[in-house]
A and B are shown apart, each in its own frame.
Chain A
Amino acid sequence: MNTTWSRFNITSIVLGFAFLYLPIVLLVIFSFNASKLVTVWGGFSTKWYASLFQNQGLMDAAWVTIRVALVSASVATVLGTLAALVLTRYTRFRGRVLFTGMVFAPLVMPEVITGLSLLLLFVAVGLDRGFLTVTLAHITFSMCFVAVVVQSRLLTFDRSLEEAAMDLGAPPVKTFFQITLPVIAPAVISGWMLAFTLSLDDLVIASFASGPGATTLPMKIYSQVRLGVTPEINAACTILIAIVAVGVIAASIVNKQREVQRRRDEQAAQRA
């Protein structure tokens, strides 16, 4: 492999990363701005973080968002996993192609359409818009993502594991909970995390499905920004970025360590 750093390589990498991260870096920097003016640097300060925690509106919105994300991710994970199971296991039922397409269509469906159709449905059945409707809407679109993640794991799942469990006397339901689920757990957890993240940052669908008293953080931020960007919003976003970054880095470190450990074990087993 070529490890020398040509000028061209350095330029490309700097440009590439600048393109990706400059906006985020700016946002983080200005969250520590002492000045109230967003684009003028007035010295370092953490006062916006303090005032953020005193902003009841933002804190309420954050709390709503977290509750919606927790509930919708959990329900979406159950439904998505079930859908993935059916789609990989029962490969010969009538209309399977149609069903598969229908499960995955919301992935490519414009969010505006999903949001609008959900709104129409809620109005039609007379459901008051609020926490319940946002949660239902988020379940609807995030379960497809869970289904995709879990299905790709199930495609490489060795069915003989389940057969072995049944052969040893475990009925199907027990087999699922004792064998299948533990083995596909990493994929189910990633599915859950994906659904959680999607719910956390969704603006479009939430705007359609939400009502008074159930304003999510992205909605709140968006509405405040329309009145002018405040450094408080920058601080809120920086905290979100930090949480996501810590989560992603921690997950990849754990994965890496597990991989290394596994390889070491396998080598030891081969030597033995």
Chain B
Amino acid sequence: MKSLGSIRRDFAPWNDPDTKPYIRFENVTKRFGDFTAVNNLSLAIFEREFFALLGASGCGKSTLLRMLAGFEEPTEGRILLDGQDLRGIPPYRRPVNMMFQSYALFPHMTVEKNIAFGLKQDGMAKADIDARVAEMLKLVKLEHFAQRRPHQLSGGQRQRVALARSVAKRPKVLLLDEPLGALDKKLREETQFELMDLQQELGLTFVVVTHDQEEAMTMADRIAIMDKGEVMQVATPAEVYEAPNSRFVAGFVGNVNMFEGSVAERTEKTARITGSTGAEILVENAGDATAGASVAFAIRPEKIKVSSRKPADAVNALEGEVYDIAYLGDMTVYHVKLEDGQVVRASTMNASRTVDDPLTWSDRAWVSFRPDAGVVLTR
């Protein structure tokens, strides 16, 4: 039997041209009066995928989810689920279930009744309902809380009841609206892994809306990064982090150093970028940047090395002064101010307990990185 890890590693239907998407947004636009919440958006989500919609509040991610659930109809375009156009199908006839941000537990019903609610609507036999409810309670480890009312539960327990209720009907797709938003940090981290295990166990398609990038990175197979009603990039967490396709995505996910400049020279593989103050950077894999184009070079802090002397073999090295140091235990973050005034953020793992090359405030320092350490962004 394959471990969960290998299943997750091999799972990449989006790379297979023969796999049909399970959910498809086709040129979907949603307007509320003058406000355009979702703007001509197309998106494909695959069966059994754990898909995250990531964006700041007001970017349209929740509207997208609500359109899938049937609470809103697209103004233009269409949404297909397993080949079926969802237009005009009310929420109570859609094979999707949603877990609400507020959990929306029915306050006048016990935990058991809450979970059984959806099953009763389907006219399931009493014995089957009881069996399924028991199974769900076991799944979320709340067997002893069946007779409690929602207000008699802690936040984490309520979250698990909401989850059990939304998966009880075995929907084709489970929609999760900020599922962990109301939990404290420690509980949130635990629950992230529980959700991933649950998704594998039940073999469901999960679409989760979140504003927390760490949450999206941890859980999702793919992430769609949204801004102002549009999808900026859809990719795996690693791609989003290491190969962002635009300045927005690079800046939105994680920390990044951005150098604005123009392409001075372009070969098949490399590009030489001149910054506004004359500093030069040699980059491999420059993408579609053409000579003369104004671009941004984005590089993550952990890919930059800080040293007191210029490394002999460095292709890219810039001189500056240590401006700030933040010691975080597991790593140290240096802010180095370059000659042109730009501050570069570089982080170093504290792998050993002693530091050989102690740099301190106001020291002269060199920041260096390999040609393939960053990406060139044209957008």
Contacts and interface: CB of A to CB of B under 8 A. Distances in A.
A156 to B, nearest CB: 13
A160 B107 contact: no
A164 B108 contact: no
Interface in A173-195: 174, 179, 182-183
Given A179-B106, A182-B108, A265-B149, A166 B154 contact: no
B121 interface: yes
A165 B90 CA distance: 12
A171 interface: yes
Nearest to B108: A182
Contacts of A13: none
Contacts of B100: 160, 163-164
Nearest to B177: A160
A168 B154 contact: no
Contacts of B71: 163
- Identify whether the interface residues of A are mostly helix, strand, loop, or mixed: helix
A183 B108 contact: yes
Contacts of A96: none
Given A164-B100, A168-B117, A169-B121, A269 B91 contact: no
A198 interface: no
B104 A269 contact: no
Contact of A171 (B92, B107, B157): B92
A12 interface: no
A158 B102 contact: yes
Contact of A167 (B97, B106, B149, B151): B97
B69 interface: yes
B276 interface: no
Contacts of A168: 92, 97, 117-118, 121, 165-166, 169
B98 interface: yes
Interface residues of A, number: 23
A272 B142 CA distance: 12
Contacts of B93: 169
Interface in B129-171: 149, 151-154, 157, 165-166, 169
A255 to B, nearest CB: 16
Nearest to A268: B152
29 contacts: A158-B102, A160-B100, A160-B102, A161-B104, A163-B71, A164-B100, A164-B104, A164-B165, A165-B106, A166-B91, A166-B92, A167-B70, A167-B96, A168-B92, A168-B165, A168-B169, A169-B92, A169-B93, A169-B122, A170-B92, A179-B106, A182-B108, A183-B107, A183-B108, A265-B152, A269-B151, A269-B152, A272-B154, A272-B157
Given A166-B91, A169-B122, 9 more contacts: A161-B106, A163-B91, A166-B90, A169-B118, A169-B169, A183-B106, A269-B151, A269-B157, A272-B154
Interface of A: 158, 160-161, 163-171, 174, 179, 182-183, 262, 265-266, 268-270, 272
Q: What 8 pairs across the A-B complex have the smallest Cβ distances? A: A168-B118, A169-B121, A164-B104, A160-B104, A265-B152, A166-B91, A182-B108, A160-B100
